[in-house]
Amino acid sequence: MWLDETINHYELSHEVGKGGFATVYEGRRKVDGLRIACKKIDRKKLEQANIHHHPSYGNRRHVLPSLRSTVMFERLKAEITIHHQVKHRNIVELLNYFDDDKYVYLILELCSHGDLEHYLKEKKTLCESETQTIVKQVVDGLVYLHNHGIIHRDIKLSNLLLTETFEVKIADFGLAKKIPLTREQNNETICGTPNFISPEIANRIPHGFATDIWSLGILIATLLTGQSPFDTDTVHGTLSKVTHEKYELPTTFSEEAQHLVNSTLRKLAESRPNIIEIRDHPFFSKDFSRSSQSNNYKFALWGPAVDRSHDSGFAENIGQQRSTLSTESNSTSISKGAYSTHLYS
């Protein structure tokens, strides 16, 4: 239940992030001193948003201001509605929201160690042990979301935040969509970040939970190598690699890591494992406790390994997996302007 609050119930200290429509501040709740993050969204900027870049409107440049305002606020309302419904240890909690004449305020759980994007820039690459620990938490959060019929659609480094104890939490529900579990493939909206979006989104075809699985595979490969396997200098080049070409994984990847990434980056969405199958993959039960990989990083190791060699034919198939995956040729006519993170970030 929402508390009856205004911004006067909080004391904001310093800016910790800024986007086109919002600024995020660290602060505290006056009544009990709880440390929070406050996402302060500028209403005027939302109303003035030039939404001809919004994928739902293609290249329509002349949209009535009232319609423009309605569209943007409906998106914000949808974000708040979905985020308010989710409660999980690996999802940033939306504590409250309210507004005034100038701003909409989202009061969020504070994640004081920033995001994985900055963490990876500092570390350059991560070992498999640390990647296992981080990604397992993301998977646990996605299991919860998918079980509740929610696609996140924007899993990427900057949307994965780190708490004071380096627990990983999924953030930013601006592109999230709730869909009926019985009718998964019913979204055709262009959304997301080029390096992390799936082929089905790039090609404007219906997509569902499998698009989060693709982004998860990109996340794993990026943590282990320091860059996205489809990264180029341009949005068009990146999308071309996603829909047309090959990616390569280093031969230094373990068999488990290669199998996991290759299975998540299958071109056909229906060929990818679901989030429960990902959770049970042998990569996440591999024991790194006696490995040199387990030293010198900030995330706590998970428990002992479990023998899953009999699961899903993994032992038979893993040797047949190649570290290079060829995707089918499939053209895309998406322009660079259509791809950006959600408009009020």
4 included as an active-site residue: no
**What H or E segment, with its residue span, contains residue 65?**
helix 65-85
- What order of strands is seen across the sheet that includes strand 22-29? 10-18, 22-29, 35-42, 103-109, 94-99
| Of residues 216, 203, 344, 200, the one with CA closest to residue 279 | 216
User: For 313, how many CA atoms within 13 A lie in the half-sphere containing its CB?
Assistant: 4
Candidate list 154, 212, 231, 233, residue with the active-site label: 154
Closest alpha carbon to 113 in 170, 166, 156, 37: 166
11 CB-near residues (< 8 Å, 6+ apart): 27, 28, 30
Contact at 8 Å (CB) between 163 and 186? no
Measured CA angle at 91 (ends 140, 273), to 5 deg: 30
CB atoms within 10 A of CB 283: 22
Place of tokens 């409250």: 96
Query: 118 vs 33, 121, 158, 291, CA distance in Å?
Result: 27, 5, 8, 26
Q: H or E segment at 22?
A: strand 22-29
Q: Give the residue numbers annotated as catalytic, written as ranges.
A: 154
